[in-house]
Chain A
Amino acid sequence: MTREQAKALIGERFSSAQVDGDAPTSAEATASRPIVVTLPVDQWTAFAQFAKTTLGCRFFSFSSAVDWKEQGLEVVARIDNLDDGVGVMMKARLGPGVSACPSLVPVFRGAEWMERECYDMFGIQFEGHPDLRRMLLSDDWQGHPLLKSYAVDTPHPPYR
């Protein structure tokens, strides 16, 4: 499957998704440039399933989130078709003040730890995650440090 075929398939199946992978980057990056797909959040899991089965993107690279301040949180996930070298960067905006997102764990087992980390750092509630606990910080930590509203020097008792 080539990059163009993959893009055509995505456009056919997910008409509401915004496919924009042609932002020109340096020559070095061109070979590994992913197809960037921006989705409505309700199609997050359905698209992952489609990418895995139809596009052959079986390799789960990572997932994370970005805090766009008043515009709310955005979740991102990178998956790859290793045989054909096609990468897909999935993105979805959760909307202002929303912290609920469907989980990718039913599709990719690798999402289990990545989403736990994401919950830990951003407080995103992944619905359908079997074991949503903090990953890197201790269980009694207060707040979610990668949010922009969390100051770098926020004191954490008893370590002040």
Chain B
Amino acid sequence: MLDTAKTSKVEFDYSGGERLTMNMGPQHPSAHGVFRAILTLEGETIVGVDAVIGYLHRCHEKLSETLTYAQYPSIASKTDYVAAMTSELAYVMAAEQIGKIEVPKRAQYLRVIMAELQRVASHLLWLGTWCMDMGGALGGGATVFLYCIRERELILDLFESLVGARLLYGFYQVGGTRYDIPDGWAQKCRETINLIDARIGEYESLLEDNPFFLARAQGVGVISRELAEDVGIAGPLLRGSGVNFDLRRAAPYSSYEDFTFNVPVETGGDCFARYRVRMVEFRESIAIVRQALDRLPDGAISSRPGLKSVAQIRIPKGEAYARVEGPRGEVGCYLIADGSAKPYRMKWRGASFSNLAVLPHIIPGHKIADVVAIMGSVDPVFGEVDR
């Protein structure tokens, strides 16, 4: 018989006197790439984080100085490879601003259609992977992921029938677009976005009726408005922290002023607020694509002659900072031209880089499991972080 009086008392409470350093990544599945976080823990609670990035650095900025204005746009795809259509756009827009090159209306509308389809595809990948990261909480893990990938494939099919590629497109060129939409593409596009539009409600009911999802997203990873602006996070993160700022509205480019759409703003600043912003953006992007398809003007797709040599595009001396609203926020390209066929200096403002920089400020105080939820809600793409 066990003498309870004699058994020594076991202390389960942790007094917090000891710190542990834990390495998370660079191959952690929730990192969505190669991100290493050196966490300092007290028990299960994080008290410090040192973020290590650069594993995917391919010296885009140095490389761009050696490539001409005709060559680099297709390389620009590789910065944010999940949203290649928007990173390319920032580069060609910067070159067009310096060279004062007008873009035909049809090309501007095509750019808008592709950028918005890309936003839907990118948000689908974000939603799927984020939910898979929090898999245990969603009673089945990969369910939402597989649904999202199914829909994303349809958009990639559209891109494939347009340019022949599924991930890195090379669709834009200085002065317009490289391709026009083929016959029947618009109809196929309408069918696809109608299908996706109908299914977004399904994801919402899958997630928002699930108390485990809400418990992991609500109140987790709160970014205050003040911190958001100070660090310079952008896109859905900024709007999730109560800042009503969207470049498509604040500084319209590529004829965005022609379309009516809403800019969702949430004030919670937590993972759930960022989730809500992106869910509304799905529908707004689809609405923009519909309007652009309805009103797609006829005419040329480029104001410049077809490319016959790589050094054909020369822009005068000058500098410009072109920014577009990518799926992850402000993607900026600061370009300095010296009059030759290659840029003198090019700086990428990667949205993911700035968004990720907020992590060391918000992670301390959370549990390890929350890091996964917060990382997913930030939606970094490491090609854009490391460039």
Contacts and interface: CB of A to CB of B under 8 A. Distances in A.
B57 A137 contact: yes
Interface in B335-383: 336, 344-345, 347, 349, 353-354, 357, 361
A76 B347 CA distance: 11
B139 interface: no
A60 B97 contact: no
B57 A62 contact: no
B111 to A, nearest CB: 12
Interface stretch (B71-79, B129-137, B245-253): B245-253
A50 to B, nearest CB: 16
B66 interface: yes
Contacts, number: 106
Contacts of B323: 32, 61
A60 B230 contact: yes
Contact of B361 (A34, A67, A109): A109
A152 B345 contact: no
B19 interface: no
Nearest to B50: A131
Contacts of B384: none
Chain B contact-residue range equals 35 or more
Contacts of B322: 29
Chain A contact-residue range equals 35 or more
Interface in A28-44: 28-29, 31-32, 34
A152 B101 CA distance: 30
B229 A58 contact: yes
Contact of A110 (B53, B63, B321, B357): B357
A25 B231 CA distance: 29
A61 B100 contact: no
B229 A31 contact: no
A62 B330 CA distance: 10
28 contacts: A23-B318, A25-B320, A26-B96, A26-B100, A28-B97, A29-B320, A31-B251, A58-B230, A60-B229, A61-B354, A62-B347, A62-B354, A66-B336, A78-B332, A78-B334, A78-B349, A82-B243, A85-B250, A85-B251, A109-B230, A110-B232, A112-B357, A136-B54, A138-B54, A146-B62, A146-B345, A152-B62, A152-B63
Interface of B: 53-54, 57, 59, 61-63, 65-66, 93, 96-98, 100-102, 226-227, 229-232, 243, 245, 247, 250-254, 318, 320-323, 330, 332, 334, 336, 344-345, 347, 349, 353-354, 357, 361, 386-387
Can you list the 7 inter-chain pairs with the closest CB atoms, starting with the nearest?
A32-B251, A136-B54, A110-B232, A60-B232, A62-B349, A110-B231, A58-B229
Interface of A: 23, 25-26, 28-29, 31-32, 34, 58-62, 64, 66-67, 76, 78, 82, 85, 89, 108-110, 112-113, 117, 121, 134-138, 145-146, 150, 152
